[in-house]
């Protein structure tokens, strides 16, 4: 579904990604792991068209998307749920959700998808007229995921969805992502510092170190790896 080949990305004179390649098959959950500054968010921004690589290729469903603008990339089905949620705090829950469908035109399908989001997150329906800025952290993360789903993604990319949340809420978020994948067939690229939780729901994983790909493999195998346990899982 998505293939990245040898991309290099710079911030000014600083190289943030060097020859990074990864592949995501349709129906998979793939995790992109690494410490702060490893290049995880940069990778997502590059896929989304917010950053342009100096070299390399990005293909989605067999077509080169590297030179498309970010709005066209969303229309093609790549949708990002950003780090820190980045909601519109002074808009209602419903207004935030509908903002996710801004590139879509089929109002009937938008209304159907809105109800589907409410079915996934009943608390959002209860609070649909409440300002997003007054929600709890966990509710805001649910709203951010719901807003991304309103864009009808074929590939959903999430940047640190567990950041700043209580352990119980983190567990609920990861259960939700696993359900979206298994029950709804949604392909997911997950950037996460909670490597243990991410690997447990993933099919495949890549680990970045200072902008380069350090390790990749089947998620369950990496979870059992002594090297991964010592370096990334705190064993």
Mean pLDDT score of the chain? 91
Instruction: Give the CA angle between residues 142, 51, 178 to the nearest 5°.
Output: 30
As a whole number, mean pLDDT of residues 139-165 equals 92
Nearest Cα to Cα of residue 57 among 48, 47, 44: 47
Q: Is 0.85 surpassed by the pTM of this model? A: yes
* 3-class secondary structure, 215: strand
Question: How confident is the model over 105-143, as pLDDT tens digits?
Answer: 888 899 999 999 999 999 999 999 999 999 988 899 999
Q: Which of 149, 154, 155, 195 is nearest to 174 (CA)?
A: 195
CA quadruple 71, 74, 80, 81: dihedral positive or negative? positive
φ, ψ of residue 117 in degrees (nearest 5): -65, -40
Coil, strand or helix at 149: helix
CATH 3.40.50.300 is held by the domain 1-76+194-202+210-235: yes
Task: List the chain domain ranges.
Answer: 1-76+194-202+210-235, 87-153
């Amino acid at each position: 579904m998505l293939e990245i080949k040898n991309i290099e990305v710079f911030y000014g004179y600083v190289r943030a990604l060097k020859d990074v390649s990864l592949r995501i098959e349709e129906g998979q959950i793939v995790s992109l792991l690494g410490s702060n500054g490893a290049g995880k968010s940069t990778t997502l921004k590059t896929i989304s068209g917010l950053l342009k690589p100096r070299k390399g290729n990005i293909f989605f469903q067999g077509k080169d998307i590297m030179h498309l603008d970010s709005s066209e990339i969303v229309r093609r089905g790549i949708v990002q749920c950003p780090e820190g949620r980045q909601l519109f705090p002074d808009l209602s829950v419903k207004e935030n959700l509908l903002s996710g469908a801004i590139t879509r035109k089929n109002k009937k399908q938008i209304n159907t998808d809105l109800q589907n989001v409410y079915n996934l997150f009943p608390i959002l329906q209860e609070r649909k007229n409440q300002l997003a800025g007054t929600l709890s952290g966990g509710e805001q993360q649910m709203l951010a995921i719901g807003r991304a789903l309103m864009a009808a993604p074929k590939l959903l990319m999430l940047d640190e969805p567990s950041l700043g949340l209580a352990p119980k809420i983190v567990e609920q978020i990861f259960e939700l992502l696993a359900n979206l994948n298994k029950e709804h067939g949604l392909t997911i690229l997950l950037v996460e510092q909670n490597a243990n939780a991410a690997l447990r729901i993933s099919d495949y994983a890549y680990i970045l170190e200072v902008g380069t790909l350090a390790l990749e493999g089947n998620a369950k195998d990496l979870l059992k790896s002594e090297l991964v346990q010592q370096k990334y899982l705190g064993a």
